[in-house]
Structures are given as C-alpha cells and as structure tokens.
Amino acid sequence: MPEISRFYGIIIRLRYNDHPPPHIRVRYGGQDATIDIATGRVQGEMSKHALQLVWTWLDLHRDAIEENWELARRQEPLKSIPPLD
C-alpha cells in the first residue's frame, strides 16, 4: 500500500483500486483507521490527538489527496503530499 505522507509518527496511505467512498488509511503506533476524505468520518481506532493532526492535514491537502485517490483508482503512480509541520 503506497505511503503518501508521514508526520509525527502518523503514516498516511492509499490502496490502489480501492472501494468508494474516497478514503485514506492511517496508522499510528499500533492503531489503524480509515478516514473518509469528504467527511472526515473515522472507522477503526485512533487516538484523539492523532485524529486531530490527521484532520488538520486533510483540510490543508484535500485537493491533492483527492487527486491521489483518482490516480490510485487508475493504477497510476501516486504523488507525495507534504507532512504537517
């Protein structure tokens, strides 16, 4: 599963040709969650602090994340997205 960003121990990934709705896969320590790109809805477990960081990053890079989602659906190389500073 390609990694598109990493910050503060949080790893953001997308799967190629994944099922809708568009979402990212997040790993932090031993916690895993899937987060809907449009709504921020979370499935899985993630600490509140990590989720707040991911939501901030998502808000800053929503267009680039959506572009990567489309690239992944077409089986094309994904682009790295800057981490949260």
User: Tens of pLDDT along 57-83?
Assistant: 999 999 999 999 999 999 999 999 999
pLDDT value for 65: 97
pLDDT value for 17: 85
pLDDT value for 26: 98
Q: Would you call 14 exposed, middle or buried from its count of C-beta atoms within 10 A (0-12, 13-18, 19+)?
A: buried
pLDDT value for 59: 96
State how many domains the chain has: 1
Q: At 55, list the tokens.
A: 């939501």
78 located within any domain? no
The residue type of 67 is E
22 located within any domain? yes
pTM equals 0.94
Rounded Cα distance between 27 and 73, Å, is 21
pLDDT value for 62: 96
26 located within any domain? yes
Distances (CA, A) of 65 to 29, 30, 62, 70, 72: 22, 23, 5, 9, 10
Domain containing 34 equals 3-73
Rounded Cα distance between 76 and 29, Å, is 28
User: Tens of pLDDT along 20-54?
Assistant: 999 999 999 999 999 999 999 999 999 999 999 99
The H or E element containing residue 75 is none
